[in-house]
Amino acid sequence: MRVGVPKEIKTHEYRVGLTPGAVREYVAAGHSVLVESKAGAGIGAEDEAYRKAGAVVVETAAEIFAQADMVVKVKEPQPSEWVQLREEQILFTYLHLAPDPDQTKGLLASGCTAIAYETVTDAKGGLPLLAPMSEVAGRLSIEAAGAALKRSAGGRGLLLGGVPGVQPARVVVIGGGVVGTHAARMAVGLGAEVTVLDRSIPRLRELDEQFAGRVRTRFSTLETLEQEVFSADVVIGAVLVPGASAPKLVTRAMLRHMRRGSVIVDVAIDQGGCFETSRATTHADPTYEVEGVVHYCVANMPGAVPLTSSYALTNATLPFGLELANKGLRAVVDNRHLREGLNIHRGRLTNKAVADSLGLPFAPVDETVAV
């Protein structure tokens, strides 16, 4: 199979779909790999490194989309990219379609087969291709909150961990999954006072044991959510409903009861965000203020640390990508976990959560996939 890796074009996105080491694995398996020139510049991987790994370096993304049987990316295709996709072509990347009807319609019109990293599953019911970026984003969320809390950034002028004799910041994490766990770990490490809210009592038990009492856990209800958010200096939105739009848990009215200069970091922004007042921002202009509360809603947080993120991502995607390259669409039929990742196939929407979120017709995979 011909595998193509275009340069990412989203604002301040420096990750790359395949590292040189991953390219070498594809080539060793008998596949040809096309890489757009300077696609790896953000991680310090020059074109020569890709050539040494066995790739053919081409000058434009148009050559990638015109020649590749499978396009491997990091972020969702932008309008100039999805119009270049075609039938019989596989797109393997993050999609986050639920809050993005334009992209969904563009991919449906292209006729391509789009497999989303964020809905591929594993034998334990986890999301193995979302997890590494969730780990990165969770950790970065606390760094972002610390920066936004500075008075010069519009925050309260508070140090997350405080100092001896001065109370540390109160950090509330909504959601105890991968993002929430890593956010809590970073916040505790810095000395903040941390509370995690979740609706799974078994998960709260796990977190209580994992953090040995250093993190407060509370079952999430409207009452406990309000109590914690109103007294927080930092609120991390770490809610995930796989494939679907994130629920709006914190309303604009609730912001009026929060501390002036407090910070919310919406890590769920890729799925539409879990705060009513969230709107996607970029690394170039990451924050804005609503009701006196600083919002950080960067939609590609791991892109700020592309070296770490690209290697973590390709470590996770490589086995699945190789299976697709080896078998083509037969891999989707044979591997139920890849089948869960199938979001769009030849003009049909094959992920029910996305279809329900957008109010579009749903086509079950078994009735859609033809190999």
User: Partners of 344 in the beta sheet?
Assistant: 114, 349
Sequence-separated (6 or more) residues with CB below 8 Å from residue 294 = 148, 149, 153, 154, 155, 261, 262, 263, 264, 287, 288
Strands 293-296 and 287-290: antiparallel
Q: Which residues contact 221 (CB under 8 A, 6 or more apart)?
A: none
Q: In what order do the strands lie in the sheet with 293-296?
A: 216-219, 193-198, 170-174, 234-237, 263-266, 293-296, 287-290
Q: Which helix (H) or strand (E) holds 348?
A: strand 348-349
User: What single string gives the DSSP state of each residue in 112-153?
Assistant: -EEEEGGG---TTS--TTTHHHHHHHHHHHHHHHHHHTSGGG
Alpha helices in the chain (DSSP H): 20-28, 47-53, 61-67, 79-82, 101-110, 131-148, 178-189, 201-210, 222-230, 252-255, 306-327, 330-334, 336-341, 352-358
Catalytic residue among 31, 198, 270, 295: 270
100 is catalytic: no
Residues belonging to the active site = 96, 270
